[in-house]
Amino acid sequence: MSPLSYTLTGEGGAPPVLLLHGFLGAKEEWDEIIEALREDFLCIAPDLPGHGGSVGLSYPDAYTIEGAAREVTALLDGLGISRVALVGYSMGGRLALHLALRHPERFSGLFLESSSPGIEEERERAVRRMEDERRARQLESVGLEAFVEEWYRQPLFASLRRREDLLGRTVRHRLSNDPHELARSLRAMGTGNQRPLWDDLEKLAVPTLAVAGELDEKYSAICSRMREECGVPVARVPGAGHNVHLEAPDEYTRLLRGFLKAL
């Protein structure tokens, strides 16, 4: 059985759905979405390596994208689940895409939220690795509260910052993590360390929907490119930014439920 901490919610015989959170997140960030799905689906929400309760993992590569993929599939094996729909947000979406390309027989569908197939240019990946290392050292030196405050000042989260109550609740959840474990995840599983998957998208054999908030220009553009180059269907959520499932949970749930029912 995988050492990942997880929740299992819903009826045992219902279609299973695996929900993968983003960097700084944890399984609890899916609570509202799971509550809306639990009557019709069996929802599995793990803490990814370095997050929530999935800390102190002993395998040297457990914090890499390959190691996280291994732990997730081991979790499914331990639960006796051979095939599941995948939902991934941001970092969790990168992992979900990796899983769907590596093990298409295990996944009935792929619902990508604010996710990228990676950085193509090696020079850009090197710059990103340097930035991730800077942030990892910040986590280790100044602690989690100061790090999270800076993290949410990024332009990517401008729409979230305009909603003080939601931002405050999100930050409080993030502060339950261990900064040193997050640093391990950032160094090993950051975008700069992931092999880009753009060239592999044409091999994607799993029904897919790429979702972005209309206010998130960066990831809306990435979704457009995925559609234009590889035919991946795209949905944009009005009034939402990068974190669609927190900013627009009703519309997100409508899209996700429709996608899952069509599988």
Which range of residues forms the domain containing residue 83? 6-119+194-261
pLDDT(1) > 80: no
| Residue 166 within a domain | no
Give the Cα separation of 170 and 165 in Å (integer). Answer: 9
pTM to 2 decimal places: 0.97
- Considering only CA atoms, which of 50, 32, 38, 70 is closest in space to residue 244? 32
**Backbone torsion region of residue 88, taken as left when φ is above 0, otherwise alpha when ψ lies between -120 and 50, otherwise beta:** beta
Q: Any idea what the CATH number is for the domain that residue 24 is in?
A: 3.40.50.1820
| Residue 91 within a domain | yes
| Residue 18 within a domain | yes
| Residue 145 within a domain | no
Give the Cα separation of 134 and 150 in Å (integer). Answer: 13
Total number of domains constituting the chain: 1
Chain segment 106-154, per-residue pLDDT in tens: 999 999 999 999 999 999 999 999 999 999 999 999 999 999 999 999 9
| Residue 83 within a domain | yes
| Residue 245 within a domain | yes
Average pLDDT, the chain: 96
| Residue 141 within a domain | no
| Residue 75 within a domain | yes
Chain segment 195-224, per-residue pLDDT in tens: 999 999 999 999 999 999 999 999 999 999
User: What percentage of the chain exceeds 70 in pLDDT?
Assistant: 100
What is the dihedral sign for C-alpha 179, 180, 185, 188? positive
Chain segment 30-47, per-residue pLDDT in tens: 999 999 999 999 999 999
